[in-house]
C-alpha cells in the first residue's frame, strides 16, 4: 500500500546538477519527516537531508550549500536539488518517510542511482 517512488537519478558530470523526486502514496504524508539518504560503494548509509512537518531542515555536512531539500504536501512529493556535484556524491539515494514522531511506521524507497563521472 505504501509506496515511495523515486525518479530523476542518472549520470551527470562533475559540477553538474540533478534533481531527485520522491512521490509518496498510501500514507499521511504531511505528518512524516521526509528525508534523503545515500549509500556509496562499501559505505554506510548516511543522511543527506531531512525535512520535517514544520519545514525544519537538516543537511549532512558534506552537502551543505550544494543540495536543497523541499516538500510539497499537496503533491506528496519531496525533492532533492543537487548542484556542484562531485564524484564522491556517487551513491544510491534512498527516499525515507519517518513516522516515529507520530507513532507511525517508517518506510524506505527502492533507491535511485546517482553517478557523477566525466
pLDDT of residue 106: 97
Average predicted confidence (pLDDT) for the chain: 97
pLDDT for residue 63:
98
91-102 residues labelled b (16+ CB within 10 A) or e (exposed): bbbbbbbbbeee
Task: Report the pLDDT value the prediction gives residue 16, as an integer from 0 to 100.
Answer: 98
pLDDT tens by residue, 24-44: 999 999 999 999 999 999 999
Amino acid at each position: 500500500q505504501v509506496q515511495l517512488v523515486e525518479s530523476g537519478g542518472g549520470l551527470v558530470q562533475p559540477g553538474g546538477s540533478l534533481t531527485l523526486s520522491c512521490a509518496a502514496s498510501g500514507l499521511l504524508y504531511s505528518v512524516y519527516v521526509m528525508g534523503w539518504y545515500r549509500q556509496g560503494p562499501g559505505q554506510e548509509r548516511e543522511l543527506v537531508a531531512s525535512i520535517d512537518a514544520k519545514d525544519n531542515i537538516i543537511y549532512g555536512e558534506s552537502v551543505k550549500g550544494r543540495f536543497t531539500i523541499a516538500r510539497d504536501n499537496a503533491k506528496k512529493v519531496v525533492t532533492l536539488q543537487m548542484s556542484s556535484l562531485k564524484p564522491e556524491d556517487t551513491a544510491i539515494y534512498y527516499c525515507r518517510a519517518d513516522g516515529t514522531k507520530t507513532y507511525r511506521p517508517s518506510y524506505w524507497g527502492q533507491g535511485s542511482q546517482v553517478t557523477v563521472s566525466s
